[in-house]
Amino acid sequence: MKKLFLLTVVGALMLSASPCSAGIPHLINYQGMLTDNAGIPINEPRDLTFTIYNVPANGVAFWTETLTAVTIENGLFNVILGYITPIPDSVFNEPERYLGIKVGTDPELVPRIQLTSVGYAYRTEMAGYAMFADSAGVATPGSGSHWSVNDSVLYTNDYWGIARGDAGNVLYGDSAHTMVNFGVACTTGTIGQNYLYSTVSGGYGNLATGHSSTVGGGNGNRARGGQSVVCGGGSCGADSNSAQGAWSIIGAGYGNIASGHVSVVMGGLLNIASGPYSTISGGTNHEASGPSSTVCGGEGNKARGHWSVVSGGGGPYVADSNAAIGDCSVVPGGRGNIAGGNFSLAAGRRAKALHHGCFVWADSTDADFTSTDANQFLIRASGGVGIGTNNPSRILHIKGDNPRILIEAQTSNPEVNFISTGDPFSEVWALYKDTVSNDFRFYQNGDKMTIENSTGNVGIGTTDPSEKIDVNGTARLRGITTGGGTANVFADGNGKLWKQTSSLRYKKNIRELSIDPQKFLQLEPVRFEWKTTGGEDIGLIAEDVENVVPDLVIYDNEGRPDGVKYDKIAIYLLGVVKNLKSENEELKKRIEALESRE
């Protein structure tokens, strides 16, 4: 550690006097500023040795006292001399006395400081006469009396500060700046300043050094800011509760700091409200550093954003604390939550709303649950989310008399997606409503099925179904029922399925079918293999049938021969059989005629 050879001390003295022995000092309250040789204030405890001499240099030491580990903050320290080693009355038998100061093992500082009594020190001696006020009658200002009584009320006869005597109290400022100090080893006002109306109502070691500042009581409390207030609490440590900001308030507790402008710490332990208009209601180890930020309670929580709020929760470890970092961010409670984005909210356990506008709600799972983009609403609920039910059986369970889910899109298609973890995006299935046609569609790498809004038609492989079911591709029917009362179906050239009927009710323009048996019998059955499946089959060639009996051909929508009406061949065969019957009958007649000639 660098040894301090040259130190600068600026101090102020107050000699406290007993009311029964006016002018005999018993305690000395000393405040000073300690800097290094570069003028930089010291910020660590030091051992200080004080000695009273009769001359400015060398001479006889009448009294000496060493105080260990004196608290020094920003160079400032405050000590009471005479409590450890009493100062005997004989030290002040002569008017000139000098105070020497030594820091640690360094040489004594020069020059020594001459001991004098400030104006208020003399005023405290006059307090001894207050015991006679009741018998003094009514005195008036200027009558030579320091006190007056009116309607049983004791008044001072001038703008005087009032301090408890023989208690090591100090009042800084001239007589026109009224202060009250009823504590022990307490200080009102600041050296070299004429601050107004500072008050210490009681307690020990309290300082009200700001303009119009107040310490109500307690131990080791500091009201440093203008109009600042410490109501009480504290401990024997210096700056136990410290209201440093203008109009700042500390209600009670220990080790609290309200350094922000109009900041408030209502109580608790080791809390710091450093942001302007910041508030900490209670708890321990909290930080409210953002302007207008609030921590309501809990342990180890931080409100760092503008208008940010942490309602409570947290815990004894760093990872347990809740932090509202973004502007207008909120952590309602829980443990290990971070609301890092502006207008974000994080609640539960280890919820991390790191992006603007995010709402992240996490269950008790001991793992981070983190936002990935702005304006997300995220819920981790391993037991399910229940709407209208307190016993969800699925990740989302909606229950009600008439439950409905509405998905409304403002610009693009409203859509619901389905995917398994690890699947590529090409495997996503989607249900969506086309905003132009209002059709409902199933999508997976292209539209797979469409329900047409205007007609209710269902298209499979087509987005423009012309029938109730329109399949663009091969269709297969399984489990077809057979038996009485059933009807055959067939597909026309456009792929439409028709029920095969034959009732007169469905027919008109009925006429005879002309059949040429000889031409019909020109049809040649063949054996072949299907190109698509490789399977072997038998049948007719549609192009050949077209050349013989066009009525038995099925054409596609481009007019090309596509199939054969095998079910209609029986009709032609019926004509052929009838023709054969007619020829047989004619032959039979001829045979009978020939036989009759014999």
Non-local CB neighbours of 597 within 8 Å, separated by 6+ positions? none
Residue 122 pLDDT greater than 50, yes or no: no
Average of pLDDT values for 489-504? 72
pLDDT attached to residue 426:
73
Q: Which residues pair with 51 in a beta bridge?
A: 64, 100
Q: Confidence band (pLDDT; 50, 70, 90) for 249?
A: very high
Q: What's the token pair of residue 542?
A: 């549609």
Residue 237 pLDDT greater than 80, yes or no: no
| Rg of the chain taking only CA atoms, in angstroms | 52
Q: Confidence band (pLDDT; 50, 70, 90) for 503?
A: confident
Burial 57-82 (b: 16+ CB within 10 A, else e): eeeeebbebebeebebbebbbbbbbb
Peptide bond between residue 41 and the one before it cis (omega within 30 degrees of 0): no
pLDDT attached to residue 270:
93
Q: What angle do CA 195, 199, 203 make, to 5 degrees?
A: 140
**pLDDT higher at 117 or 396:** 396
Q: What's the token pair of residue 278?
A: 């910041």
Q: Which residues pair with 450 in a beta bridge?
A: 441, 459
Residue 14 pLDDT greater than 50, yes or no: no
What is the dihedral sign for C-alpha 509, 514, 515, 516? negative
Give the HSE-up count for residue 408: Cα atoms under 13 Å, Cβ half-sphere.
Answer: 3
pLDDT attached to residue 333:
95
Q: How far apart are CA 162 and CA 155, in angstroms?
A: 11
pLDDT attached to residue 493:
63
Given its phi and psi angles, is residue 236 left (phi above 0), alpha (psi -120 to 50 degrees) or beta? alpha
Q: Strand, helix or coil at 212? A: coil
Residue 389 pLDDT greater than 50, yes or no: yes
Q: What is the mean pLDDT of the chain?
A: 84
Q: Which residues pair with 443 in a beta bridge?
A: 430, 447
Q: Confidence band (pLDDT; 50, 70, 90) for 479?
A: low
Average of pLDDT values for 90-99? 82
pLDDT attached to residue 196:
81
| Structural domains in the chain plus CATH codes | 8-117 (2.60.40.1930), 418-471 (no CATH), 515-569 (no CATH)
Residue 9 pLDDT greater than 70, yes or no: no
SS3 per residue for 321-375: CCEECCCCCEECCEECCEECCCCCEEEEECEEECCCCCEEEECCCCCCEECCCCC
pLDDT attached to residue 22:
40
pLDDT attached to residue 123:
36
Which range in 118-122, 150-154, 229-233, 566-570 is most confidently predicted, on average pLDDT? Answer: 229-233
Q: Confidence band (pLDDT; 50, 70, 90) for 444?
A: confident
Q: How far apart are CA 218 and CA 222, in angstroms?
A: 10
**Following DSSP, what letter does each residue of 117-156 receive, concatenated?**
--HHHHHHHHGGGGGGGGGS----TTSS-SEEEETTEEEE
Residues 20-51: pLDDT tens digits?
344 444 677 787 888 888 778 888 999 999 99
pLDDT attached to residue 341:
97
pLDDT attached to residue 16:
40
Q: How far apart are CA 239 and CA 287, in angstroms?
A: 17
Q: How far apart are CA 188 and CA 195, in angstroms?
A: 9
pLDDT attached to residue 26:
60
Answer for the pair 397, 389: CB distance below 8 angstroms, yes or no.
Answer: yes
Q: Is 146 exposed, middle or buried (0-12, 13-18, 19+ CB in 10 A)?
A: middle
Q: How far apart are CA 67 and CA 347, in angstroms?
A: 50
**pLDDT higher at 14 or 5:** 14
**pLDDT higher at 16 or 157:** 157
Residue 376 pLDDT greater than 70, yes or no: yes
